[in-house]
Structure 1
Amino acid sequence: MTQQIQTAPPSSVRPGLPHVELTGFEPSLDEDERAVQQAMHQFAREVMRPAGSALDKLSAEEVVAPDSPYWQFLKTVAASGIEFDAMAEDVPPAALARLQAIAVEELGWGDAGLAVSLGAGAFPRMMAARSGNQELVGLCEGRLGCWIGTQPDRGSDGLSLYPAERHAAAPQGNKGNLTARVSGGEIVINGQSSAWVSNGPVAQVGLVTIAADYGEGFFDSEGHPRGVEVVVPLDLPGVSRGRPLEKLGKRALPQGEVFFDDVKVPARFALALGDEYWRGHASTWSSAGVAMGQIMTGLARASFEHALEYCHERRQGGALLADHQLVQYRLGGMARKVETMRAVSRRATDYTFLSPSKHPYYTAGSKVTCTDLAFEVADEALQLFGGNGLTREYPVEKLFRDARAARIEDGENHLLSMKFGYLTSLLHRAARTRP
């Protein structure tokens, strides 16, 4: 009697490899989405990565010098027709939100610092367009922008929307170092921003978010600062700049102080004035947080892809790194985090574009999730490279530094997580008192 040898079933009966897109495990893109993604990916690979790498090696002063690769990068962007804030009237809002998320992720994949520079550059025009103020749209057209919302003595606490959030020992909120007085159809601005204003050294127009006195002082009856959000041309008399900031990460992004000495702008340049200030500020902040999640998803994906490629080249213990089970486990963890970031950033994008009543504290929570996970992925990528990861010969060292910066910019992550928790408490209390 002969023994039957069990043979493996034909390969045709086994599941094939799953469908994946450039960005991973997601449903198929439609023709327009794939065209946008491929175009942005090519731009990110051929233009952004070389420019970002070159700028990373320069001093902050050299980055903004007339012969810097930064200016050639901006010229290439302008010639390509790429717009961070592209808005098409014939595209449904849901489709537009998805297209933006796809496109901005590719920018972050190319270079996070340059992606933030493009986002900040478009920010004043984008918020002017959303307000419907065509005069301000025209004022911002063709000008590199920035968002001036952070100050030396009023950083993340400037993001407190509710009086109950301030510390119990504080009799009133913090008006900060940069303030405005509004009177007779004119806004007069004095003080300085912090050194962390993205595009601060080079911007031509700024969206300025600051405390304001309308004739009754800077604080309301609850001790909360009044405010104004206003578009300011930065070539006006009284505007000056500090030195560009030397920093750990995102060195391709120029950042620095902006000073205001009795700078006068007409009140019609305001996007959010008087009682509308807090709602306007909340809308602005929501938009910024959404972009940060998209950009950092791209950075995390880049870190994972570099690590995956390296693990299929580097041998250790007589085998490729990719063949070691522990390495496979680590790569699986990185891939899960990238997929999580994409899901969270896309959800935050949809919420901000489509919700009838969006809220920046939810967006803040998504920003925390994406930037924390991006840092974890970049850190693991560097670890998989071993000693090579610490050298500038390989790209993960820069990605690690760029990822670290994102946990502080646009609001420090612990504070933002606390605000999301505060929002959940407000929702709980509202539900309990609802009839």
Structure 2
Amino acid sequence: MAIDFTLTGAQKKLQRNARDFACEILQPIVQAADEEPDTQKAFQMMRGAYIECYKLGFATGFLPREYGGGGISNLDLQIVSEEIAAIDPGFATILLVNGLALMPLAWFGSGEQKQQWLTQATSDPRGEYLAGWTVSEAVGASSGGTANFDHPDAAPAGIGLVARHDKGRGEYVLNGTKYWPCNSGGWDLQGANVNVCIVRTAEDKGGTEGLSAMLVPRGTAGVRYEQPISKIGHRLCQNNSIVFEDCRVPEENLFAAGDGDLVISKAFTWSGPVAAIAAVGVARSAYEYVLHWAKTRTAGGRTPIIHQQAVGYLLADIAMKIEACRAFSWKAAHYLDQHASEGHVAGAMAKVFCGETLFPVVFRAMQVMGVNALDRRNPMEKFLREAAVFPLYDAGNVGMQMRKIWGAMSDPAFDPRAIAQSRAMPFSKSMEAAGLRTP
């Protein structure tokens, strides 16, 4: 049978391992960490759980086997991500961001760079290795944000972290700020093991020509990591404010020269189905909690409220949307597996659709409980806070993901049946800068 949603024996084992970790190791520490007002301390409270994840292969399992990774498929990653996100999507994001940072190196890096940096990531004897994905910028910076990274104008439009080449010393000198990057500060705010930074290497060129990727290792002088941002949701992952002041990096740490835009687009394509299935995990937990509530609470009546038609219809609608979103997440991940993660439209569609669908699903679950959902002794408030993040983070739906879909659809080479028929649909620079270029 060509289409089959049945998990293999190996996938069932993977799911069981992820579920056991999530329930036995992660869940007991989540509430205290989520309620911790010190954002860096909350992140540090996850260190032990992260080490266990590293030992299980969840922190680097997506990297190629030849460099020590697990070489797992995007579809297998879905299985792990749903189980962990069902307990806490902020912690799941720590793992996801390792991929956002390191997968671009696997796609665009040289053989020497991959051997050095990917092998280092998969062979940490302490199991604490973190990679930072350092793209987003401060709104108050000369440019700001990430949404217009592919702006066709030269600086100051688009990315503002400038890397000037000092050829005499064989280095790049970085100046600028970043805001929102995840994992970048590391466990001690002295830096992740490596930060993969998107930098402007040609100030006179637009975002489709002037951007590159740069590896900034821990301990590099001229980088300051500030106190992590305090967020309403995904509180257990670290999002930093970072200042680069005459930060010198060896020129051999540069990769994807002039193609930093493609690095951004492909990285957020890879993460799209993962963010989508994480939304499924949160909605699943909200649904299962409320389903149990409806079967055991009478609300002053004679029978549990599950027997009320309004409640039954609400729960049926919730369950249908969760199943639909899981299927879409798996489909997108499968498409990426078929085409070496060149699934920019499929990945973006899954991320947008699932995030936008499942936020109101969590609120519907709260309506089943009524005012009791507002009581923080129940977990519904946290589910809602977490669900609110999905449309906004990981290349926000409005700012970047929808524009990526639009740009691809606008291109003469766009094939509207490619996803349905699993045909390759390469992404090119001509599909970027939608709405920013003069037609």
Q: TM-score, normalised by structure 1?
A: 0.81
Q: Which residue of 2 aligns with 1:313?
A: 296
Q: Which residue of 1 aligns with 2:171?
A: 186
What is the distance in 2 between the residues matched to 1:290 and 1:127? 16
Offset, 1:125: 3.4
**What SS does the aligned partner of 1:261 have?**
strand
Alignment of 1:14-413 (within 5 A): 27-61=5-39, 63-64=41-42, 68-87=44-63, 89=65, 96-130=73-107, 131=109, 132=111, 133-141=114-122, 142=124, 143-153=129-139, 154-160=144-150, 163=152, 174-184=157-167, 185-194=170-179, 196-202=180-186, 203-213=192-202, 217-220=203-206, 226-274=210-258, 276-316=259-299, 317-355=301-339, 358-413=342-397
What is the distance in 2 between the residues matched to 1:246 and 1:98? 32
What is the distance in 2 between the residues matched to 1:292 and 1:98? 13
**What SS does the aligned partner of 2:181 have?**
coil
Offset, 1:250: 1.1
Q: Which residue of 2 aligns with 1:18?
A: none
Q: What are the superposed Cα offsets for residues 36-68 of structure 1, whole Å, 9 maximum, x if unpaired?
A: 111111111122222222211101345258xx5
Contact map agreement 1:229 1:281 (CA 8 A) in 2: no
Contact map agreement 1:94 1:350 (CA 8 A) in 2: no
Contact map agreement 1:321 1:327 (CA 8 A) in 2: yes
Q: 1:427 to 1:40 in 2, by over 3 A?
A: farther
Offset, 1:371: 1.0
Offset, 1:326: 1.4
Q: Which residue of 2 aligns with 1:8?
A: none
**Alignment length, in residue pairs?**
388
Contact map agreement 1:60 1:254 (CA 8 A) in 2: no
Q: 1:284 to 1:412 in 2, by over 3 A?
A: closer
What is the distance in 2 between the residues matched to 1:138 and 1:302? 36
What is the distance in 2 between the residues matched to 1:430 and 1:338? 28
Contact map agreement 2:137 2:146 (CA 8 A) in 1: no
Please state if 1:420 is matched with 2:405: yes
Q: What are the superposed Cα offsets for residues 158-204 of structure 1, whole Å, 9 maximum, x if unpaired?
A: 454x74xxxxxx8887233322123534322111101x222233233
Contact map agreement 1:63 1:252 (CA 8 A) in 2: no
**What SS does the aligned partner of 2:92 have?**
helix
Q: 1:127 to 1:411 in 2, by over 3 A?
A: closer
Amino acid at match of 1:102: I
What is the distance in 2 between the residues matched to 1:37 and 1:278? 34
**What SS does the aligned partner of 1:136 have?**
helix
Q: 1:172 to 1:430 in 2, by over 3 A?
A: farther
What is the distance in 1 between the residues matched to 2:341 and 2:76? 22
Q: 1:333 to 1:58 in 2, by over 3 A?
A: same
Offset, 1:260: 1.1
**What SS does the aligned partner of 1:209 have?**
strand
Considering only CA atoms, is the larger Rg found in Structure 1 or Structure 2? 1
Amino acid at match of 1:128: L
Consecutive unaligned residues in structure 2, runs of 5 or more: 187-191, 417-439
What is the distance in 2 between the residues matched to 1:73 and 1:95? 21
What is the distance in 2 between the residues matched to 1:76 and 1:95? 18
Q: 1:430 to 1:97 in 2, by over 3 A?
A: closer
Amino acid at match of 2:298: R
What is the distance in 2 between the residues matched to 1:388 and 1:108? 24
What is the distance in 1 between the residues matched to 2:327 and 2:319? 12
Amino acid at match of 2:283: A
Larger mean CA deviation between 408-417 and 77-86 belongs to 77-86
Q: 1:209 to 1:390 in 2, by over 3 A?
A: same
Offset, 1:73: 2.0
Offset, 1:307: 1.4
Consecutive unaligned residues in structure 1, runs of 5 or more: 1-25, 164-169
Larger mean CA deviation between 263-272 and 107-116 belongs to 263-272
Contact map agreement 1:146 1:205 (CA 8 A) in 2: yes
What is the distance in 2 between the residues matched to 1:430 and 1:158? 25
Contact map agreement 1:211 1:218 (CA 8 A) in 2: no
Larger mean CA deviation between 174-183 and 381-390 belongs to 174-183
CA RMSD, aligned part only?
A: 2.8
Q: What are the superposed Cα offsets for residues 93-117 of structure 1, whole Å, 9 maximum, x if unpaired?
A: 9982321211111121121000001
What is the percentage of aligned positions where both structures have the same residue? 24
**What SS does the aligned partner of 2:311 have?**
helix
Offset, 1:399: 1.1
